Chains A and B, each alone.
Chain A
Amino acid sequence: AQKVTQTQTSISVMEKTTVTMDCVYETQDSSYFLFWYKQTASGEIVFLIRQDSYKKENATVGHYSLNFQKPKSSIGLIITATQIEDSAVYFCAMREGGGGADRLTFGKGTQLIIQP
């Protein structure tokens, strides 16, 4: 069974700095997909970025990037030049490959606080 672990419960950083949030996963599949989602204080949950396991290049979208370390089963989310509005809870998630699975397993989340 797949498992996703986020060990950092809460992180606080100063505005305009860079922050990394950790995530490790467990899977038996050779093909899998990793995602990060953001939940704002209003409760809204939005997709941020994904990494497909077969891709060696780290994904980047805007000021979000990933640090994919396949041998360590690790997928860190890096936010550069943080802004106040980046304050939110960030969830790591994984989907295993294979037909018909379509199940997304989430970690328990990391709360990010951006200090002005």
Chain B
Amino acid sequence: DMKVTQMPRYLIKRMGENVLLECGQDMSHETMYWYRQDPGLGLQLIYISYDVDSNSEGDIPKGYRVSRKKREHFSLILDSAKTNQTSVYFCASSFGGANTGQLYFGEGSKLTVL
């Protein structure tokens, strides 16, 4: 069905709580991404995963970690969330090789940290 699904879509947490954002894709894409989007800043890359257990830091990895145990599933974890992690988080996936860069995005997860 060529879809990237993010859960939950909306989340409110208190500072210091742990956060788990989950992402699934049904296209057997090798590469998956987590971005965050803040007003006026565009999309900033947090982590990139090239396949199962093959993850690499993006441009703003501090305060985040990821897990990819199955090709179709990629999680973003915030241990002890901070108020400046309030943002909209987007998961994306793509084929590797020549088609890398043509990303399929999820609908986003809006996280508010109080």
Please list the residues of chain A having a beta carbon within 8 angstroms of any beta carbon in chain B. 33, 35, 37, 43-47, 50, 91, 93, 95, 100, 102-109
Alpha-carbon gap, A50 to B103, bound state (A): 11
Cβ contact of B108, chosen from A37, A43, A93, cutoff 8 A: A43
- Whether A45 pairs with B90 at a CB distance below 8 angstroms is yes
Given A91-B43, A102-B96, A107-B42, the answer on whether A45 and B101 have CB atoms closer than 8 Å is no
Q: Which 5 A-B pairs have the closest CB atoms?
A: A108-B42, A45-B105, A95-B101, A106-B43, A106-B42
- Tally the A-B contacts, defined by beta carbons under 8 Å: 50
Majority secondary structure of chain B interface residues (helix, strand, loop or mixed): strand
Majority secondary structure of chain A interface residues (helix, strand, loop or mixed): strand
Given A43-B88, A45-B90, A102-B31, the answer on whether A35 and B43 have CB atoms closer than 8 Å is no
Give every chain A residue within 8 A of B18 (Cβ-Cβ). Answer: none
- Whether B100 pairs with A50 at a CB distance below 8 angstroms is no
Give every chain B residue within 8 A of A35 (Cβ-Cβ). Answer: 101-102
Give every chain B residue within 8 A of A43 (Cβ-Cβ). Answer: 88, 107-108
Extra inter-chain contacts (12) besides given A44-B107, A103-B48, A107-B42, CB under 8 Å: A35-B101, A37-B103, A43-B88, A45-B105, A47-B103, A91-B43, A102-B31, A102-B48, A104-B33, A104-B103, A105-B45, A106-B42
